[in-house]
Structure 1
């Protein structure tokens, strides 16, 4: 009987150990809430605004590309996503597909131009969180790093998800005229509102057929790390 009692006590101790262990682990798991999810297949423009140098564009473009609806295409535009009533969180995760269409030249500067490369940036609540360049040509690009003038470039299409896509306009007949990138940004954030914007500085200005960009599968997740 004493031996049996010792076995019961041993088993109970082991059970309590695992209960405490699993309880501690579960407390460390983050709370994740998807606060925005749009694949644009229904044509939804919910919470989105597109701006050019003249102001807000009344009709947001959703076009067909690569067998899917995408938001775009853009050249010297700013796309804004405004979210409010966010749950308690300390981190935001922003993911989407970014299509780079046609003749982007990355870090290349046009001779006699204004010394602006084919740059693209993301801003959160007024603060820049990513600025980079992309190239579909022989010139190098900054991505996946941030653009810093005078630094060495990465090869064109570096870190791309898919390079075997037709162009949208100028390179429509080319099998590698567009490049797909999977963008994922995770950053500290606690405000119950968020303004996320993306914009470009493409040259020449307004040359939609020469070079443009579009996005798809936009998702924002609010995360609370305990």
Structure 2
């Protein structure tokens, strides 16, 4: 009886199949037909979408074949002095340093990142891999936290996060928006103090059986 129940439960589970890549870019060139707000730069020998500070870009795709989910994967570079969930004090506003991804105006990622050290006397928490205002140590979920800083100097670094999200979706078109809300009130060049970029963006549709 137990084995029969297990077989029945297993047979009722849906699986994802028929993955169809609908967009892929390493950002060697701007795609004016499918993107808005895209800026291209060079970082660490590669082209990236960026650098953004209180900026955004979108990928807009149409004429999608029948599907049940959209899969979005990319490399996200967090450059220089991100302060995570910290808000600063009465004199200096330092955050929270928010990064977002929306699909058709629905927030899928609304999180923070921290590029600081963490010890018993100083540790600016971040929300990733969950959404704000969850609290995790700096660099939680990071793929590489020792890449060169972009331009801030003074021991700045870049952290690489490899992100993949599966989003329920069945419409004939989709708009995916990447954006931030960064705060740092005491620096003359905010983009040099903290920014982000993105590469190896892949978007696919999937069906369930």
TM-score (norm 1): 0.76
Identify the residue that residue 147 of structure 2 maps to in structure 1: 165
Change in Cα spacing, 1:194 to 1:141, as seen in structure 2 (3 Å) is same
Name whichever structure is richer in helix by fraction.
Answer: 1
Identify the residue that residue 210 of structure 1 maps to in structure 2: 193
Distance 2:101 2:16 in 1: 29
Identify the residue that residue 5 of structure 2 maps to in structure 1: none
CA distances 1:179-212 after superposition (whole Å, capped 9, x unpaired): 0000101010000100100111101377100000
Q: Shift in Å at residue 116 of structure 1?
A: 4.7
Residue ranges of structure 1 left out of the alignment (5+ in a row): 1-23, 51-59
CA contact (8 A) 1:31 1:223 kept: yes
Q: How many residues align?
A: 186
Please say which of residues 159-168 and 200-209 is displaced more in the overlay. Answer: 200-209
CA distances 1:34-87 after superposition (whole Å, capped 9, x unpaired): 00000113x23341112xxxxxxxxx4211112210010000012111010111
Identify the residue that residue 70 of structure 1 maps to in structure 2: 48
Structure 1 ranges of 4+ moved more than 6 A: none
Identify the residue that residue 104 of structure 2 maps to in structure 1: 125
Verify: 1:88 aligned to 2:69, yes or no. Answer: no
Within a 5 Å distance, the mapping from 1:1-226 to structure 2 comes to: 30-41=17-28, 43-46=29-32, 47-50=34-37, 60-112=38-90, 116-138=95-117, 139-148=124-133, 151=134, 153-171=135-153, 174=155, 177-204=157-184, 207-226=190-209
- The higher radius of gyration belongs to 1
CA contact (8 A) 2:129 2:140 kept: yes
TM-score (norm 2): 0.82
Distance 2:60 2:202 in 1: 13
Change in Cα spacing, 1:114 to 1:204, as seen in structure 2 (3 Å) is closer
